[in-house]
Amino acid sequence: MQRRISTNTNLVAFSRGGEKHTMLSLLPLYASHGYRALDLNFCEMMNPHSSIDEGYIARLAELRDRYGLEYIQAHAPYPRDYRSLAEEGRRASDAEICRAAGYAHSLGIPHIVIHPIRGTVQDNIDYFSRLLGQIDIRIGIENMEREDEIYRVDDLLEIASHLNGRAGIILDTGHAHMRNLSIPGFIRTAGDMLIGTHIADNDGKEDQHLLPGFGTIDWEAAMAAFRESYGGYLTYECMKFSANLPFSLSGAVIDLSLSIAGDLLGL
């Protein structure tokens, strides 16, 4: 496995007192502590006061070039329950996802992570087919954590198989652990269709977004499967890990995440 580690830009986006920090404000901090590969968190667009627009994207490109960063993945905003929305709400949700995909494409990002909707495999084939008719970037379909959502690797592969080579699979280790799935089995079954990851730990009950080792995932078994079957980035999605700490400790949290990454890659 290529020894590559990255993080979603939300790693230290939340801090004590309910503070929320934007991608633009955090990129120099990640770069100064050693991150070079990043997953852009366009879920920030779900914030009612989001300022993401063409000018924001131009600033992301400028910061990428200034700090020698690589944007290896992006995460689209998502509806909480798409099928419960009226038609107007569905169109608005589709438009936001497509806007994020357009931004990702303009930044040269290879794929964007999009959540499947609650419903059947066929519901999702229809949903993603419609989205792909409006965007010019490959999508990564993420396994979810609820019984009434798409979480089995076989279902994800079935959906992707109907999307004309324009879709792959994103493994969220925390979600898989909550569904009591075999993470090594997921990795090996996904094979070449696994195009990205969300690496997070939890207690198997809640989506706690912990750094590896702070939950109950068997990381030795997971890493053995990654080495065998996956050559891409291990991308943290651990945004709640430091939410109760002051922002002044964010650098220490970033350093810890990199130290843990080194340990993971040595397993």
> How far apart, in Å, do the first and last CA atoms of the chain sit?
12
Given this model, what pLDDT does residue 181 score? 98
Given this model, what pLDDT does residue 13 score? 96
* Number of structural domains the chain divides into: 1
What value does the mean pLDDT of the chain take? 96
pLDDT in tens, 11-24: 999 999 989 999 99
pLDDT at 3 > cutoff 70: no
Confidence class for position 1, pLDDT limits 50, 70, 90: very low
Nearest in space to 90 (alpha carbons), one of 68, 117, 51 = 117
pLDDT in tens, 239-260: 988 999 999 999 999 999 999 9
Confidence class for position 80, pLDDT limits 50, 70, 90: confident
Give mean pLDDT, residues 112-122.
97
Range of the domain at 76: 5-266
> What CATH number should be reported for the domain holding residue 13?
3.20.20.150
Nearest in space to 56 (alpha carbons), one of 30, 28, 22 = 22
The length of the chain in residues reads 267
Q: At a CB cut-off of 8 Å and minimum separation 6, what does 165 contact?
A: none
